[in-house]
């Protein structure tokens, strides 16, 4: 797994509030992609799903989920990372 960014790094490299891109790769089973999108929505307390894209790997064993919500603070980014890191089926979080 990739080490999570620090608050200082996030503040230095991103403008808040604003969009933030999470890339997640996991096993294409048990609704992994839907669970990722739901986790981001719930962690940010949004009423609707954030914009997202899916890309299935050749062979269909894995799926890449790119979620691009608007986040208010660097702390929100870290909260989403923490939540996704606990998910069953996670292979990589970028």
Structure tokens at 3: 């080490």
Segment holding 52, helix H or strand E:
strand 52-56
Q: Which residues pair with 90 in a beta bridge?
A: 26
Q: How many residues does the chain have?
A: 94
- The alpha carbon of residue 40 and the mean position of all alpha carbons in its chain are separated, in whole angstroms, by 6
pTM: predicted TM-score of the whole model, two decimal places:
0.91
CA Rg value for the chain: 13
Residue labelled with tokens 């980014």: 77
**8-40 pLDDT, tens digit each:** 999 999 999 999 999 999 999 999 999 999 999
């Amino acid at each position: 797994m990739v080490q999570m960014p620090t608050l200082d790094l996030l503040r230095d490299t991103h403008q808040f509030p604003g969009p933030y891109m999470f890339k997640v790769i996991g096993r294409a089973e048990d609704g992994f992609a839907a669970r990722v999108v739901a986790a981001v929505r719930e962690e940010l307390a949004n009423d609707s799903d954030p914009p997202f894209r899916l890309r299935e790997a050749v062979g269909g064993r894995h799926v890449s989920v790119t979620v691009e919500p608007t986040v208010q603070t660097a702390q929100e980014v870290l909260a989403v990372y923490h939540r996704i890191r606990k998910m069953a089926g996670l292979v990589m979080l970028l």
